[in-house]
Amino acid sequence: MQIKKGKYRHFKGNMYEVIGTAKHSETLEEMVVYRALYGDGELWVRPAAMWDEQIQREGKVFRRFEYIGE
């Protein structure tokens, strides 16, 4: 799975910037390292499979994170 670096919009509206990917030290699961583009700009990690999944809400299908660009 290839996760592009750049800006993304979460399906709930907040903006984030993907810094890169990393591997979990115990499971070797691919993780996405990203920064919130609001508030204190905290760093977060999330499993890549979860980052790339589709969500269904109120009968509509969304990508959890939509790529916006560099």
Residues 17-64: tens digit of each pLDDT: 999 999 999 999 999 999 999 999 999 999 999 998 999 988 999 899
What's 50's DSSP letter? Answer: H
If you write DSSP's letter for every residue of 16-70 in order, what string do you get?
EEEEEEEE-TTT--EEEEEEESSTT--EEEEEHHHHT-EEEETTEEEESEEEEE-
Of 20, 15, 17, the residue nearest 6 (C-alpha):
17
From CA 34, how far away is CA 50, in angstroms rounded? 13
Give me the architecture of the 6-69 domain, per CATH.
Roll (2.30)
Domain boundaries, the chain: 6-69
pTM: 0.86
